[in-house]
Structure 1
Amino acid sequence: MSIFSKLFHSRQPPKTAPAVLTGSPAYFTPFSGNAYESDVFRAAVDAIARHGAKLHGSHIIRTADGRQPGDDNLNYLLGTRPNPYMSAYDALYKLITHFYAYNDSFGYIQRGDAGIAALYPLDVSGAQFVTDPTDTMYIKFFFQNGKQYILPYSDIIHLRRHFNRNDLLGDDNSAILPAVRLAQTQSDGIVSGIKQGASLRGILKYNQVLAPEKMKQERDAFTADFLNISNNGGVAVTDSMLDFVPLDQKPYSINKAQMDAAKSKIYEYLGISQKIVDSTYSEQEGTAFYESVIEPLAAQMAQEFTAKIFTPIEQQAGNRILFEGDSMEYASYGTRVTTLKESVPFGLFTVDEARQILNMKPIGGEEGKKRLQTLNVVQADKANQYQGVQKK
């Protein structure tokens, strides 16, 4: 936390008050009934975060001539190293994990004299929206070490999920907690059943009165001789001194349908399926996951990063932050080849772009930037020249 102490020390406004729009004051706490402690919930969130963290962030400038690459330093921060302590993948993974685990995810934009200096995902124990006397919005963050820092909301990346009842924050995960508790109870029940089945195998009854110490000795001797894995024959021999009455323990077992029902509730709540979690999805299922989960997430991040990094005037000039992925990564090799066969004749891909679709190394240089096009496809205004017809 000393890292953030240095970053935030000089950014504290002199006086603030809780911010209230149309409802109650907005106060965030990451507590969600420990949903993320559930192995089912965590595995599902991890699957989304792993795929979402592969999105590539970049700064582009949209002009009348098309799309141009933006600032090199900002592109490096977004796509490679947002801060000295984590990669772009790590930063996105953390933001997305908080987004699903807490329904609110925060990131800090560190600005320097030359522009954006670094981007940090924030792991906080609480947050409260406040305003100063000029009604400028701030967030008071509470950290695990007890420190508090107040930062301008304009410097905070804020991603919200289930954005409904509160004016500024997403709703909590209380709706899914019953299913999370059920899944955990089922898991605990399996463990308990295994222990119960191995705890008591039978009753050893002696036909005479023995001292308690003697009974323990006889029990231990019987167990060592007959109830261990070295008893290959599986046969116990007794005399008239004792009787062994075996117990048929049948612990309660949870069937697969019951376990799958609890998992499905959690997966549906997060918008994914079992096959996405265990990476057994088909091409169609992978594409559906990308379009329904990853693409909306990319759109939300792009809009929030753009609004917080650039001023309105800079946005009007065409500055945008994009988070883009390769939807073809879920496509089979045959689909990729078919796509190239249908698209390359129209000059839609450069040589290196086509090679990337096939997971091949780029050629680079001018050769890699060339666009190949069949002679059977020409520009409409040059069709007559191509056919040898002269204008009158």
Structure 2
Amino acid sequence: MSWIDKLKNRISGKNATYAGMLNGMTPIYNQFGQNIYASDVVQQAMKCIVDEFVKLRPLHVKEEGTDIIPVHGDIQSLLNNPNPIMSKADFIEKISYNYLFDLNSFIIPIYYTWKDRAGRLQRKYTAMYPVRPMQVTFIEDASGTMYVKMEFGNNFETIFPYDDIIHWRAQFSVNEYMGGNEFGQADHGPLLKTLQLNNDLLNGISRAAKSTYAVNGIVKYHAMLDTNDTPARLKEFEDRLLKSESGILPLDMKADFTPITRDIKLVDNDTLRFIDEKILRHFGVPLCILLGDYTKDQYEAFYQKTLEPKIIKLSEAFSKGLFSQRERNGYKNRIDFYPKDLVFMSTDQTLEMVRLLGDSGALYENEKRRSFGLQPLPELVGVRMQSLNYVNVDIAANYQLQEKKKESEKNE
């Protein structure tokens, strides 16, 4: 039995109604659409983004003043090992593709609860699974609690409290609950037109290539040939053509050969490049990123424009789904997804920045590590180092006078 078949409905649904929407629509959404993934350019563009997401490292942290403290507990274990059938990289890859396909990625955390000695309800997470329901319906009960009913391809249905799931949305604009268009779906209309144009061009190139293997000439015989004799004469002509090493084919007075000239028009490189870049712009992936031939500045622009907003929303979606409001606001718990390295500066620029701010005591040691994309360490929490080569400007004059006095006394 699948893991999802073991889930039980959290509410009976008897007193539940559809969640209200200001535009008067019923909040039922189908995740259907034309398959844009059939395009090789779309596959490559998505893969560029997903490959960058896979490099992210999720970390459970708490804020204490200006410092960020890593928390090594059940939540971090869940982030490192999401479920028995997926590694951390597999999990991030799966939710990222769902996010790009549907502009809505749903993750279901599995947990059990108990009451501690003080009577407070505690929760322990055991796994979390990415799901791609065929239909989702937003409903609420009499108390105003929001629920999500999910229907899957095997006709399985289940209902979750909306606060208990992780919902990562893209293009959250005209719809009140889902990312995408007003129907909660990815609007692939403009992209499909470009993909159709690209497909037509590729088919034209294919037909042009095949035409080079078509009839290349006409052999005219100065006599009436019997129907049974025509294949033999044609075979004789082909044999002569194959045996001619010089490229010159001798013919007698019985036959004339008339070649067929072709003027095949292929699509120019600029047109093909324009179509590819038009598709890539839909996903925010420059051609240099796709080809892997990019500079530091180009990757920085790609990160800031395409990746960073999605990573911020991913972190906030996990924080909201795994922590209660009290845990987030009161105890400052959150989930951060750290990139592999700092993309805003070159390595030399980062080293210079850390050296200048670090020597003056303006950076905590964990902040220095984070500048290079490294995880903060518990033993460095609250540790701040300062170089003795610096002095406060208010006492600099007195310091210099004392040094001169010491030097004068030494000389005497």
TM class by shorter-chain length?
Answer: 0.7 to 0.9
**1:102 corresponds to:** 102
Match among 312, 318, 337 for residue 299 of structure 1 = 312
Q: Residues 90 and 30 from structure 1, CA distance in 2 versus in 1: closer, same or farther, beyond 3 angstroms?
A: same
**1:203 corresponds to:** 218
Q: Distance in 2 between matches of 1:234 and 1:330?
A: 62
Deviation at 1:21, TM superposition (A): 0.8
Match among 259, 275, 291 for residue 278 of structure 1 = 291
Deviation sequence 1:126-149 (CA, Å, 0-9, x none) = 333334455433333333334333
**Amino acid in the other structure paired with 2:53:** G
User: Please, which moves more after superposition, 53-62 or 122-131?
Assistant: 122-131
Q: How does 1:161-180 map to 2 (within 5 A)?
A: 161-169=170-178, 170-171=180-181, 172-180=187-195
Q: Is the 8 A contact 1:12 1:149 kept in 2?
A: no
Q: How does 1:51-70 map to 2 (within 5 A)?
A: 51-64=52-65, 66-70=67-71
1:187 paired with 2:202, answer yes
Q: Distance in 2 between matches of 1:354 and 1:69?
A: 13
User: Please, which moves more after superposition, 348-357 or 330-339?
Assistant: 348-357
Q: Distance in 2 between matches of 1:162 and 1:50?
A: 21
Q: How does 1:204-219 map to 2 (within 5 A)?
A: 204-212=219-227, 214-219=229-234
1:89 paired with 2:104, answer no
**Amino acid in the other structure paired with 2:45:** A
Deviation at 1:255, TM superposition (A): 1.0
**Amino acid in the other structure paired with 1:84:** P
Q: Residues 309 and 382 from structure 1, CA distance in 2 versus in 1: closer, same or farther, beyond 3 angstroms?
A: farther
Q: Residues 384 and 92 from structure 1, CA distance in 2 versus in 1: closer, same or farther, beyond 3 angstroms?
A: farther
Deviation at 1:314, TM superposition (A): 1.1
Deviation at 1:64, TM superposition (A): 3.6
User: Please, which moves more after superposition, 273-282 or 80-89?
Assistant: 80-89
**Amino acid in the other structure paired with 2:85:** Y
Q: Distance in 1 between matches of 2:206 and 2:99?
A: 32
Find the residue that maps to 1:28 and give its secondary structure. Answer: strand
Q: Is the 8 A contact 2:56 2:339 kept in 1?
A: yes
Q: Distance in 1 between matches of 2:2 and 2:360?
A: 55
Q: Distance in 2 between matches of 1:207 and 1:150?
A: 84
**2:253 corresponds to:** 240
Match among 112, 119, 124 for residue 133 of structure 2 = 124
Q: Residues 135 and 268 from structure 1, CA distance in 2 versus in 1: closer, same or farther, beyond 3 angstroms?
A: same
Q: Is the 8 A contact 1:126 1:142 kept in 2?
A: yes
Q: Distance in 1 between matches of 2:63 and 2:383?
A: 22
**1:139 corresponds to:** 148
Structure 1 residue runs of 5 or longer lacking an equivalent are: none
1:321 paired with 2:330, answer no
Q: Is the 8 A contact 1:129 1:137 kept in 2?
A: yes
Deviation at 1:286, TM superposition (A): 0.9
Find the residue that maps to 1:77 and give its secondary structure. Answer: helix
Which structure has the larger Rg over C-alpha atoms? Answer: 2
**1:48 corresponds to:** 49
**Amino acid in the other structure paired with 1:238:** L
Deviation at 1:290, TM superposition (A): 1.4
Q: Is the 8 A contact 2:354 2:368 kept in 1?
A: no
**1:255 corresponds to:** 268
Q: Distance in 2 between matches of 1:345 and 1:249?
A: 73
Deviation at 1:178, TM superposition (A): 1.3
**1:34 corresponds to:** 35
Match among 375, 378, 382 for residue 388 of structure 2 = 375
Find the residue that maps to 1:290 and give its secondary structure. Answer: helix
Deviation at 1:284, TM superposition (A): 0.7
Identity %: 26
Q: Residues 65 and 101 from structure 1, CA distance in 2 versus in 1: closer, same or farther, beyond 3 angstroms?
A: closer
Q: Residues 164 and 65 from structure 1, CA distance in 2 versus in 1: closer, same or farther, beyond 3 angstroms?
A: closer
Q: Is the 8 A contact 2:135 2:152 kept in 1?
A: yes
**Amino acid in the other structure paired with 2:322:** I
**Amino acid in the other structure paired with 1:257:** D
Q: Is the 8 A contact 2:342 2:373 kept in 1?
A: no
Q: Distance in 1 between matches of 2:269 and 2:146?
A: 51
**1:290 corresponds to:** 303
Q: Distance in 2 between matches of 1:315 and 1:207?
A: 95
User: Please, which moves more after superposition, 183-192 or 203-212?
Assistant: 203-212
Deviation at 1:379, TM superposition (A): 6.7
Structure 2 residue runs of 5 or longer lacking an equivalent are: 114-122, 182-186, 403-412
Q: Distance in 1 between matches of 2:392 and 2:343?
A: 31
Q: Residues 145 and 225 from structure 1, CA distance in 2 versus in 1: closer, same or farther, beyond 3 angstroms?
A: farther
Match among 157, 160, 163 for residue 148 of structure 1 = 157
Q: Distance in 2 between matches of 1:138 and 1:324?
A: 31
TM-score, normalised via structure 2 length = 0.79
Q: Residues 355 and 116 from structure 1, CA distance in 2 versus in 1: closer, same or farther, beyond 3 angstroms?
A: closer
